[in-house]
């Protein structure tokens, strides 16, 4: 009887491990997707603020964007100096998002915005994941 009980326990533990691994992976992917969505949205906000404060000139580097403080800074309250503050937040965005710094503002102004797709793709995720948008707001369309 002891051998049978031990075998049942081993089988149950194996089933538990097999069920937990995919569940953990799904939570990781969901969390990562959410972080990507927010990173795209915050990068778009940062670029829009940069355009407003620099005579509609497109930024040439992340270093230029680091100097900008977005007007909509309600989400910046969580980035206290002891946790790295705002510069660390922008570095977090830089690790997740790619910006086409070669685009000219005049190119953006000439494009007719579409209904379902952005006219130009000037920001995207480093991972290449598509469709990671917060609240169905495509960040390139915002810009």
Q: Print pLDDT tens along the chain (143 aa).
A: 577 888 888 888 888 888 777 777 777 667 778 888 888 888 888 898 899 889 989 999 999 988 887 665 555 555 544 455 566 778 888 999 999 999 887 777 777 666 555 567 888 888 876 656 666 677 887 77
Tell me how far CA of residue 62 lies from CA of 40, 47, 55, 93, in angstroms. Answer: 14, 10, 18, 10
How much is the pTM? 0.69
Kindly state the tokens that stand for 2: 């002891």
Q: Could you give the residue ranges of the DSSP H alpha helices within the chain?
A: 2-53, 62-66, 85-96, 105-110, 139-142
Rounded CA-CA distance 52/110 in Å is: 18
């Amino acid at each position: 009887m002891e051998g049978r009980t031990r075998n049942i326990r081993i089988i149950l533990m194996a089933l538990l491990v097999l069920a937990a691994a995919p569940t953990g992976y799904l939570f990781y992917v969901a969390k990562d997707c959410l972080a990507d969505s927010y990173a795209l949205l915050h990068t778009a906000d940062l670029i829009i603020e940069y355009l407003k404060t620099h005579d509609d000139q497109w930024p040439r580097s992340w270093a230029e964007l680091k100097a900008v403080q977005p007007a909509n800074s309600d989400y910046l309250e969580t980035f206290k100096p002891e946790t790295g503050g705002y510069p660390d937040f922008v570095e977090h965005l830089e690790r997740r998002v790619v910006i086409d710094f070669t685009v000219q503002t005049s190119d953006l102004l000439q494009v007719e915005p579409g209904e379902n797709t952005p006219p130009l793709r000037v920001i995207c995720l480093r991972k290449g994941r598509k469709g990671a948008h917060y609240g169905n707001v495509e960040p390139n369309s915002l810009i």
